[in-house]
Amino acid sequence: MRALDLDYMLGLVPVILGYVPLTLGMALAAMAFALVLASLMAVERVVKIPVLDSFVKLFISFFRGTPLLVQLFLFYYGLPQVVSALAQINGVTAAIMGLTLHFAAYMAESIRAAILGVDRSQWEASQAVGMTQGQMMARIVLPQAARVAAPTLVNYFIDMIKGTSLAFTLGVTEMMGATQKEAAGSFLYFEAFLVVAVLYWIIVEALSLLQRGVEIRLNRAYAR
Amino acid sequence: MIEISGLTKNFGGTPVLNRIDLSVAPGERIVVIGPSGTGKSTLLRCLNFLDRPDAGTIRLNGMTVDAAKATKAEILAVRRRTAFVFQNYALFANKTARQNITEALVTVQKRPRAEAEARADEILREIGLAEKAGSYPAALSGGQQQRVGIGRAMALDAELMLFDEPTSALDPEWVGEVLDLMRKVAQARQTMLIVTHEMQFAREIADRVIFMEGGRIVEQGPPSQIFDAPQDARTRDFLRRVG
Ligand SMILES: Nc1ncnc2c1ncn2[C@@H]1O[C@H](COP(=O)(O)OP(=O)(O)OP(=O)(O)O)[C@@H](O)[C@H]1O
Ligand SMILES: [Mg+2]
């Protein structure tokens, strides 16, 4: 056993920190797209639009049933070969696309469960005052479902941040990719990957703190 | 004038409403009584399309809807001309008392927010809850929630207000304040169709009492007739049982 090269590790921290914006940026973009897509799919799964429903079910089943890494490779290396419009796709775009679709499939199921958990009386009261189905969803049902689903959705966001590390396999130099390059130069693999692990860990812990804050806020809401 | 004819509803092959005919004059206050499971709630719910009638027509001041074939637009039109007060209040849990009242005025009736809020404040004063304007339903007593439920219905200026056992879910201590508010609504000559077990209240405010059993109107008339001189044996039987 050899001693850890602490100077090397300390020197590496600012280098990897420089890639935090790209990592978080990819996660945030994918989360925003995934939230929209997941909400649309969840609402569709609840109101069940013929034909579209089968397609959404198939979509959810596929993206939950296959590994994220396989999906990323499919988008980045595979799709450009068959869809010429995607020939110029870059790694960041492919990663955001893959993360979006993969996590939207999971999030759609949580949001759907949360929607179905909203008390029947809320649906009936919305209908009774003459709201359209869209108004009922947007004004009454989804806001209440969001409150129930929020903690789970933050968990998916955390998974998504960790999932961005797979983007390095598409040639993206994000936190993981940068670490990989540094380590390949110094041969200090243990030090390098330990530093990046701790940095991911700190980001996720900070988010968990935020999550607890949000949960407390949400539990207080509607109760004053 | 509101005219309902041949209104029919089956649940799983069992008739729950059996060709109900009913005309309601403007400003008329009708109380529906009858044993449990005879279709009182279903009648109200069918009038608002919370349950889909199997047959019959609903005529609301000039608009005639074939209930079984009603289009989405017709259903919305009927709902926008009626108001519903639920047994379990059914206030929007994510909205404050004031927002519960403004919500449909803004979202459905497309009235300017300032106007809706002014109307809500007026209603909150009328229902005696001005100081609870910013409270969410979870922070209100049952009686307060139901008063907001009635306030939400009042704000709609509906041609017909439907009440489905508005005091049945309340702790006894809150029943009085809700009945008082309903008396106020009745005094304003709002057209009302009320399902209730509060016989004393019915006697006080009803222009007409309808006794329902087995999905049919068995007997109807002014409260004095129904309560003091019921013609049908089933009405007498029911009234004896409820004391
Ligand atoms: N969604 C439903 N599915 C199946 N049956 C139903 C449904 N809703 C009501 N019913 C049945 O229809 C009948 C009439 O119900 P309804 O609720 O209209 O009675 P009610 O007169 O309001 O009774 P109560 O005084 O107990 O409220 C009952 O036998 C009930 O079980
Ligand atoms: Mg009932």
Domain boundaries, chain B: 26-36+82-242
Nearest to B119 by CA among B176, B69, B158, B157: B157
pTM exceeding 0.90: no
Residue A123 within any structural domain of the chain: yes
A132 → chain B, closest CA residue: B76
Task: Write out pLDDT tens, residues A198-219.
Answer: 999 999 999 999 888 888 877 7
**CA contacts within 13 A on the Cβ side of A53:** 8
Distance from CA of A87 to the nearest CA of B (A): 45
Q: Please state, in angstroms and rounded to a whole number, the distance separating the CA atoms of residues B72 and B88.
A: 26
Its domain, for residue A103, covers: 6-219
Question: Per-10-residue mean pLDDT for chain B, 243 residues long?
Answer: 95 93 96 96 96 95 92 95 97 96 97 97 96 95 97 96 96 95 95 96 96 96 95 95 83
pLDDT at A113: 96
CA distances from B138 to A79, A137, A220 (A): 52, 21, 11
**Model ipTM value:** 0.94
Any chain B CB within 8 A of the CB of A224? yes
Pick from B48, B50, B92: CB nearest A122 = B92
B199: Cα within 13 Å, side-chain hemisphere: 13
Assess if residue A224 is contained within a domain.
Answer: no
Residue showing tokens 């390059």: A181
Into how many domains does chain A fold? 1
pLDDT digits (tens, 9 = 90+) for B56-66: 999 998 899 99
pLDDT value of position B184: 95
* CA-nearest residue, atom 26 of ligand 1: B36
Q: Whose CA is nearest to atom 1 of ligand 1?
A: B11
CATH of the domain at A89: 1.10.3720.10
Ligand 2 center from residue B130 Cα (angstroms):
31
Task: Please check whether residue A153 lies inside any domain of the structure.
Answer: yes
Choose among A167, A203, A212: nearest CA to A20: A203
H-type alpha helices, A48-141: 52-65, 68-73, 79-82, 91-117, 120-128, 133-135
A126 in B contact zone (CB under 8 Å): yes
* Residues A173-189 pLDDT 10s: 999 999 999 989 889 99
Question: Of chain B residues 149-208, which have a CB less than 8 A from chain A?
Answer: 152, 156
CATH topology of domain B26-36+82-242: Rossmann fold (3.40.50)
pLDDT for A221 equals 67
Average pLDDT rounded to a whole number, residues A14-32? 95
The reply to whether ligand 1 has any atom less than 6 angstroms from the CB of B196 is no
